[in-house]
Amino acid sequence: RGPSPPRSGLAPREGAARRKGKGRRGRGKARGEGPLGKQKRSRRMKANDRERNRMHHLNSALDALRSVLPTFPDDAKLTKIETLRFAHNYIWALTQSLRLA
């Protein structure tokens, strides 16, 4: 590899120092938002609760699916994607065996 092309005339520290004065960026919370901030926080907490419940239900469904799939050894827990792929292949194999019978 050859040398990388020059970025700009600024040294690395100078560019970082210049950006500091630009104000807030990113996802940090602003202080003193008032009622609108409380409403946003409440909505975010409700959305987080919904997502947490969704993941709990998904994990419960995957555990139920794992319990009916034959695995060797029995104590090996399949990952989510392994469970779905194994279930797909298992259903396909059962379908093929029924077609042949």
pLDDT at 62: 96
pLDDT at 68: 92
pLDDT at 84: 96
pLDDT tens by residue, 57-72: 999 999 999 999 998 7
Continuous H helices in the chain:
12-20, 35-68, 80-100
Nearest C-alpha neighbor of 69 from the set 59, 78, 56: 78
The CATH classification of domain 35-100, taken from the options 3.40.190.10, 1.20.120.80, 4.10.280.10, 1.10.10.10: 4.10.280.10
Q: What is the mean pLDDT of residues 28-36?
A: 69
pLDDT tens by residue, 73-92: 777 889 999 999 999 999 99
